[in-house]
Structures are given as C-alpha cells and as structure tokens.
Amino acid sequence: MNTRPHCALTHDQEHGAALVEFALLAPLFLLLIFSAIEVGLMLFTQMTMQYALREGVRYAVVNHGVTGASPDFNRVVQTIRDGSMGFYDSLNPVYEVSIDGHKTTYTNPAAFGSGMFGARGAVVRVQLNLSWPLVTPLVQTALGMHDYHFSVATTMQNEKS
C-alpha cells in the first residue's frame, strides 16, 4: 500500500522544479550582478580620471614656474593618459580650460596652443568632459541613456616664479 500523498513530488520531479526555477531566476540574478559591476566600474573610472587630471594639471603648473614658459601640452596630456590606467582613449575627452575665468574648449589635444595654461600666477581650471559607454541594459534603462556622461575638473594656480 502506497502511503505517500497523491500531490507529493518525487526526487526527480523536485530536481526538475529546482532546475526550472534556476533557469527563470539566473538571468535576473546575473543582470543584477553585472549592473552592480558596471556601476562600480563607472565610479572607479570617474575617480581615476579625476586623479589623472589632477596630476596632469599639477605637472603643468609646477613646470610653468620652473621653465618660465608654458609647459609642453603633449607632456601634460601624456601625464593625464599615464594616470588614467588605460581609460583615457576610450572616453573621448573634451577639454575645457579656463585661465583667470576665460574659457576655451578643445576637442583635440593637438589643438592646444603654447599659452594654453596662461601666464605665471594665473589661476588655471581644467575640466574634462567624458563619455562612458554603458553595456548593461538595466543600467541603461535606469539612467535613460546609452552613455554615461561625466566631468572631472581641477583648479590650480601657476607657480609665480
């Protein structure tokens, strides 16, 4: 005589139910994990670029006082690129440089001029406008965009002598 209730599942049926539940929930779980990773990477990139910009502008203002001439802009960009941990080239940077309140926008670092960082003692503010391509659909939906646009900026005064 069979004493099992009629609605009880066998071991194989329970295993199959667990497999179906996993198949339904795994994509959602993975999407949440990858979304968290992408948001973390976005924040890490923003902090890394802030550091890289600060180092590049610091190089510019310190070397401005040493040589008396405006620093080599290619070396400033290279300093920023070196500090960016490889993110620089994928972010399409647009530079906004303000010298004592007068702003100039550069989309191409090759367009920098010799007076880009102003005279001795000038207050220099450099802002990078950057664009991070989003990969995870959940993050794209939450932000309502396909690219995360952010800016990093730093302000320093050129060495006076």
Instruction: Give the three-state DSSP class for 99.
Output: strand
In a domain, 2, yes or no: no
Note down the domain range covering 88.
11-157
- The answer to the question of residue 23 being in a domain is yes
> How many DSSP H helices and E strands does the chain contain?
3, 4
In a domain, 144, yes or no: yes
Q: Is residue 108 part of a domain?
A: yes
Return per-residue pLDDT of the chain as tens, 161 residues: 555 555 566 666 666 788 888 889 998 898 889 888 988 999 999 999 999 999 999 988 887 656 556 677 788 889 999 999 999 989 989 988 888 888 888 777 666 666 677 777 888 899 999 998 888 887 888 878 888 899 999 999 887 76
Q: Answer whether residue 5 is part of any domain.
A: no
Alpha carbon 129 to chain centroid distance?
A: 10
Radius of gyration of the chain (CA): 26
Strand order of the β-sheet with 94-99 is: 102-106, 94-99, 123-133, 147-157
Domain assignment present for 114: yes
24 domain-assigned: yes
| Predicted model pTM | 0.77
Domain count, the chain: 1
Residue 152 lies in a domain: yes
